[in-house]
Amino acid sequence: GAGVSQSPSNKVTEKGKDVELRCDPISGHTALYWYRQSLGQGLEFLIYFQGNSAPDKSGLPSDRFSAERTGGSVSTLTIQRTQQEDSAVYLCASSLQGDNSPLHFGNGTRLTVT
């Protein structure tokens, strides 16, 4: 079946602009996660959704970052007033029910802020 789909795969934006990154999880997966991967920094947790609610958003680095999930499916990560330090690969993952269910990752969106 289809895996986790992310779009766009690449995004170049100017500093100060807003960007939206989209994630389509595997059908039936109730849990959805956003991570950020920067060079040499591993994967940094951003936010966790269970259904449409976000019980853990502790990893969002600033109030410029927000995310929502609708219909228990698609999620959008929005970064307002982008800064150069926001440049990274943004990864989305889903799992069947959260907790210790294995995560299935998308291929990510590479964001470059110029």
Q: Which residues bind another protein (CB under 8 A)?
A: 3-4, 33, 35, 40-45, 48, 55-56, 59, 91, 93, 98-100, 102-103, 105-108
Please answer whether residues 3 and 25 qualify as being in contact, where contact means their C-beta atoms are separated by less than 8 angstroms. Answer: no
Minimum distance, C-beta of residue 36 to another protein, in the bound complex (Å): 11
Please answer whether residues 104 and 94 qualify as being in contact, where contact means their C-beta atoms are separated by less than 8 angstroms. Answer: yes
Quick one: 14 or 39, whose CB is closer to another protein? 39
Please answer whether residues 36 and 43 qualify as being in contact, where contact means their C-beta atoms are separated by less than 8 angstroms. Answer: yes
Minimum distance, C-beta of residue 106 to another protein, in the bound complex (Å): 6
Minimum distance, C-beta of residue 72 to another protein, in the bound complex (Å): 17
Report how far residue 47's alpha carbon sits from residue 45's, in angstroms, rounded to the nearest whole number. 6
Quick one: 32 or 79, whose CB is closer to another protein? 32
Quick one: 4 or 113, whose CB is closer to another protein? 4
How far is C-alpha 72 from the chain's CA centre? 15
Please answer whether residues 112 and 17 qualify as being in contact, where contact means their C-beta atoms are separated by less than 8 angstroms. Answer: no
Minimum distance, C-beta of residue 92 to another protein, in the bound complex (Å): 10
